[in-house]
Amino acid sequence: MDCGESLEEAVVREAKEETDLDLTDVIQFHTYSDPNRDPRFHTIGTVFIAKAKGEPRAGDDAAGLKVVKLGELRKLDFAFDHKKIIEDYLKFKAG
């Protein structure tokens, strides 16, 4: 996030820089702040839901970029509390 930039502006900019995707319909999903979510240090992560347009291309920080089908998400390994974030999103999506 840059000085003077909102979280919403930052997520749109970062998505473009790191994946070359243009985000629309950006909404804040949840902020995760458990002090134990990252064993290295206390981090806070705000997760957004959005629609994306374009052909994904990996930038510097997204070298491992890949598109995954929604039904395949639970089969993947995630760092830190990212599996919980995915589970929370899938519960939300199921309604």
Q: What are the residue ranges spanned by the domains of the chain?
A: 7-68
Residue type for position 13: R
In the CATH scheme, what is the homologous superfamily, with its name and number, of domain 7-68? Nucleoside Triphosphate Pyrophosphohydrolase (3.90.79.10)
- pLDDT, tens digit (0-9, with 9 covering 90-100), for 62-89: 888 889 998 899 999 999 999 999 999 9
Q: State the pLDDT at residue 62.
A: 82
**Rounded distance between C-alpha atoms, residue 38 and residue 86, angstroms:** 16
**CB within 8 Å of 48: residues ≥ 6 apart:** 7, 8, 11, 26, 27, 28, 29
Which pair of structure tokens corresponds to residue 70? Answer: 């929604």
Q: State the pLDDT at residue 63.
A: 82
pTM of the model: 0.87
With a cut of 90, say whether residue 32 has pLDDT above it.
Answer: yes
